């Protein structure tokens, strides 16, 4: 991570252990976790077993780190929709726009011990697995460089409740 952005310390906000591939459509993770300014949080995706073309691997649409597609650009008016509906509406509109230009995607049939990392603004999705519920053990970690304020897609920067974290090593902490 430090090779990517030179940060000295990271705060882990969320880890998800997947036992099978989810059915994630094209989306960005910035709505879940970002920094202020946008684009400096990372999602690290770690296979815990070797992956194949049938595993249901994530893929990304190669993307400039700070490129943000706003709701206004997608012709979505700012609204007081509940967060979940606003999230779905945005991701669906983003997906329609991106698919309209036939984008390339990047992925890898990773081996156990590899990892993939994308930024909070990078569109990505999960390719289908076969059979649907084949085992795909993997860990997803959402983190941010600790020196950057914690934000999300719509609130920049956030006045979150105190940013309480437990330091695990000199390199990373867990948000509490």
Ligand X SMILES: O=C(O)CCC(=O)C(=O)O
Contacts to ligand X by CB under 6 A = 16, 18, 21-22, 24, 29, 58, 124, 126, 138, 140
Q: Please identify, using beta-carbon distances, which residue of 6 and 175 lies nearer to Fe ion.
A: 175
* Contact between 129 and 55 (Cβ < 8 Å): yes
Closest approach, Cβ 94 to Fe ion, in A, equals: 12
Residue 119: contacted member of Fe ion, ligand X, none (CB under 5 to 8 Å, by partner type): none
DSSP 3-state of 142: strand
- 42/175 with CB nearer Fe ion: 42
- Which pair of tokens denotes residue 73? 């650009």
In the list ligand X, Fe ion, none, the entry touching 47 (Cβ below 5 to 8 angstroms by class) is: none
Q: Collapsing DSSP states into helix, strand and coil, what is residue 101?
A: coil
Binding-site string for Fe ion from residue 18 to residue 57, where x marks contact by CB under 5 A and - marks none: -----------x----------------------------
From the list ligand X, Fe ion, none, partner contacted by residue 58 (C-beta under 5 to 8 A by kind)? ligand X
Helix or strand holding residue 18 (H, E): strand 10-20
| E runs forming strands in the chain | 10-20, 34-35, 42-47, 58-60, 116-119, 124-126, 135-145, 150-151, 165-167, 172-175
Helices in 56-155 by DSSP H: which ranges? 83-99
Binding residues vs Fe ion (CB under 5 A): 29
């Amino acid at each position: 991570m430090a090779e990517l952005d030179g940060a000295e310390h990271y705060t882990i906000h969320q880890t998800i252990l997947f036992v099978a591939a989810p059915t994630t459509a094209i989306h960005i993770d910035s709505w879940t976790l970002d920094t202020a300014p946008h684009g400096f949080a990372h999602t690290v995706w770690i296979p815990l077993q070797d992956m194949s073309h049938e595993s249901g691997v994530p893929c990304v649409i190669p993307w400039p780190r700070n490129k943000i597609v706003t709701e206004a650009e997608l012709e979505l008016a700012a609204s007081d929709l509940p967060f979940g509906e606003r999230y779905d509406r945005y991701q669906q509109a983003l997906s329609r726009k991106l698919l309209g230009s036939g984008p390339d995607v990047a992925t890898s049939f990773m081996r156990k011990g590899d990892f993939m990392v994308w930024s909070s603004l990078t569109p990505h999705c999960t390719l289908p697995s076969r059979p649907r519920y084949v085992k795909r053990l993997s860990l997803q970690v959402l983190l941010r460089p600790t020196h950057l304020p914690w934000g999300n897609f719509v609130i920049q920067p956030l006045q979150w409740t105190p940013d309480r974290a437990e330091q695990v090593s000199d390199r990373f902490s867990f948000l509490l």
